[in-house]
Structure 1
Amino acid sequence: MIKRQAVKGKSQVKLTFVQPYEANRPRTYVVGDFNDWTPVSTPLIKRTNGTTSASVVVASGERVRFRYYTEDGKWFNDEAADCYEPGEFGADNSVVVAQL
């Protein structure tokens, strides 16, 4: 799931990337344009509601390419993405448009 929320007084949108918590899944990160594809800079944090999530703020209307990365080196996409597009390393990237 991807939540979108307006940033008050700015033309920005807060994107919250949400995944179900899985006890056996290695630590997971959201990686994309917003963090220069740096694998460990945006970790998903465990929440009390049984999910993990991380938020980033981007310009309103921006097309954001991203994927999830686990500490054991696996990459996966988000089923809730607006669309997918080919990435430069042969796998598709998830894409979300930051608009309400």
Structure 2
Amino acid sequence: MAIKKQYLKSKPVCKVTFSVAAEEAEAVSVVGNFNEWNAEATSLKKLKNGTFKGTVDLEKDAEYEFRYVVDGVYTNDDEADAYKWNDFAAAENGVLSL
């Protein structure tokens, strides 16, 4: 899994690219407080090499909690900036600091 951040000079926005190596998976999406935790809102596209990839524009100078949904199973990214406990899910969420 990987996260790439590209800050725009012209806008207070960061383009965040999420990559998940999941060759055997049918569907991967990224969910978080930036998309109301809606798995259908940010589906990642499967590339020929088996990696799922997608880009989201997020406001900079903010923190966002997120997780991946790989074939219905929630998982964290090893490259998250931090982790934060979530009582609702009884699990940790990854944190993006922009």
Note the C-alpha offset of 1:14. Answer: 0.7
2:45 corresponds to: 45
- What number of residue pairs does the alignment pair up? 96
Partners of 1:34 and 1:56 within 8 A in 2: no
Which structure has greater strand proportion? 2
| Residue ranges of structure 2 left out of the alignment (5+ in a row) | none
Aligned partners of 1:70, 1:13: CA distance in 2, in Å?
24
Q: Alpha-carbon deviation of 1:49?
A: 5.2
Does residue 93 of structure 1 match 2:93? yes
- Taking structure 2 as the reference length, the TM-score comes to 0.87
Q: CA deviation at 1:94?
A: 0.5
SS across alignment from 1:85: strand
TM-score (norm 1): 0.86
- Residues 33-84 of structure 1 show CA distances to partners (whole Å, capped at 9, x for unaligned) of 111101221111123455211111111121110001133x210000010111
Mapped to 2, the partners of 1:74 and 1:26 lie a distance apart of 12
- Give % identity: 35
What is the deviation of 1:96? Answer: 1.1
Please state how far the C-alpha of 1:89 moved relative to its aligned partner: 1.7
Structure 1 segments (4+ residues) deviating >2 Å: 47-51
1:1-100 equivalences under 5 Å are 1-22=2-23, 24-48=24-48, 50-71=50-71, 73-87=72-86, 88-98=88-98
Quickly say closer, same or farther: Cα 1:8–1:39, change in 2 above 3 A.
same
**Structure 2: which amino acid aligns with 1:80?**
E
How far has the Cα of 1:7 moved from its partner?
2.4
